[in-house]
Amino acid sequence: MTTTTKKKKKIVSTGICNFCQAELDKAKMTQHLKYCTSRQAQIADQQAAYQGKQVQILHLLVEGQYNPQYWLHLEIPALSPLYILDDFLRDIWLECCGHLSAFTINGVHYEADLEDVTPLPPSGKIDTQPQTEEIVDEEGSEKQIIATVLQQANGFFQNIVPQFQELLPTALIKECRQFSSVDDLILFLQQKGKEIKWGPTPRASDEEEQKAYMERYFAKQLIKNMLQLLQQDESMDVPLQRALRNLKPGKNFFYEYDFGSTTSLTLRVISEREGPFPSKEEEIVSLMAQNRAPELTCAHCGKPAYLINVDYSDEDLLYYCQSCEEKEDPDLEMNMLPIVNSPRIGVCAYGG
């Protein structure tokens, strides 16, 4: 008996450039934005009209982590706090019931409760010239954090029996004391953790193998303890330039909205440029391109769909046109949500 496997229809995602209105495949949009003459002309006009200090502007690609056919190309000043980006993503793609959200960057979580978000100053502007004293205070504070974390992590070794004292990672601890940046130390520890391999299980009869294994164990335990202490949740008041400063080029960072019915996004810095800081709060994040809404068809008649049944697990039965929905059992109405151009389609009460 032969069985046939139904092939999934390959989704070709296209999007619109907001500068020239060209429609391109997702794979070609990044390159297009780099050379788009309409965009270059707009940037030139902004530069000509602005005589103030230039700031770093980041080009970000944002996409659904599990449904990448939904995507955005954004620009945002690097000085902007993370909550500005959080607000934008909520407004364009996600907000339904005031859920919590978080960014994860290099293993550090930046969380926000909507009631705790620090608003912009009354002027609506972000300080583009942080004071030297603030930078010095921050560096001093980070040194103190590192010293405290080292002291706490060392507590693990206080009850080690004497014959193991010489195997403790004193050299690693000494290296850690040289750091003045928490982010730099986190990256250093992450790399060290990868470099230290467990190796084979030591033979009980081989004392040298036993010692080498215990040295690796103590070093890995120190790294684990320190990372747990250093990678505690932070506020979204942190500027992007600080949160991203040690992110390797091309490496992704992540965002989650709603920790119950979670919508997960992947973000990546595509490029950066110098430019004026936007004068209006609503212009701080600029949408350069967005995917076209995927063409979804009614599972029952093939016409364009406009509703999704959130209770169906079979993808082929999810979508309804208006006439087919009206023919369904009235009790199903409560399980329908509108089809939206968002990775949060069909989740919670999100209706766009």
pTM: 0.74
Any domain includes 1: no
pLDDT band at 136 (very low <50, low <70, confident <90, very high): very low
Q: Name the residue among 35, 286, 45 with its Cα closest to residue 24.
A: 35
Domain count, the chain: 3
Give the whole-angstrom CA distance, residue 108 versus residue 228: 10
Quote the pLDDT of residue 269: 97
Any domain includes 107: yes
Q: Chain-centre distance of CA 208, in angstroms?
A: 44
Any domain includes 87: yes
Please indicate, yes or no, whether residues 220 and 264 belong to a single structural domain of this protein: no
Quote the pLDDT of residue 234: 82
Residue that finishes a domain, picked among 207, 230, 253: 230
Domain that holds residue 301: 294-352
Please indicate, yes or no, whether residues 30 and 90 belong to a single structural domain of this protein: yes
Residue 54: which residues within 8 A CB-CB, separation 6 or more? 274, 275, 276
Please indicate, yes or no, whether residues 18 and 113 belong to a single structural domain of this protein: yes
Give the whole-angstrom CA distance, residue 60 versus residue 250: 11
Domain CATH number, residue 51: 3.10.290
Residue 55: which residues within 8 A CB-CB, separation 6 or more? 77, 78, 79, 128, 274, 275, 276, 277
Of the listed ranges 134-138, 207-211, 227-231, 330-334, the one predicted with least confidence: 134-138
Q: Is the pLDDT of residue 134 over 70?
A: no
Higher-scoring residue by pLDDT: 340, 158 = 340
Any domain includes 332: yes
Please indicate, yes or no, whether residues 287 and 300 belong to a single structural domain of this protein: no
Please indicate, yes or no, whether residues 99 and 150 belong to a single structural domain of this protein: no
On whether the CB atoms of residues 337 and 315 are closer than 8 A, the answer is no
Residue that finishes a domain, picked among 291, 314, 335: 291
On whether the CB atoms of residues 78 and 239 are closer than 8 A, the answer is yes
Quote the pLDDT of residue 6: 42
What is the SS3 string spanning 153-200? HHHHHCCCCHHHHHHCCHHHHHHHCCCCCHHHHHHHHHHHHHHCCCCC
Predicted confidence (pLDDT) per residue in 219-260, tens digit = 898 888 888 888 777 889 989 998 998 788 889 999 999 999
pLDDT band at 314 (very low <50, low <70, confident <90, very high): low
Give the whole-number percent of the chain exceeding pLDDT 70.
Answer: 85
Predicted confidence (pLDDT) per residue in 253-301, tens digit = 999 999 999 999 999 999 999 999 887 888 899 999 999 999 888 888 8
Any domain includes 2: no
Please indicate, yes or no, whether residues 96 and 243 belong to a single structural domain of this protein: yes
Please indicate, yes or no, whether residues 112 and 245 belong to a single structural domain of this protein: yes
Quote the pLDDT of residue 124: 46
Any domain includes 318: yes
Any domain includes 37: yes
Residue that finishes a domain, picked among 190, 214, 230: 230
Quote the pLDDT of residue 341: 95
Predicted confidence (pLDDT) per residue in 5-26, tens digit = 444 455 679 999 999 999 999 9
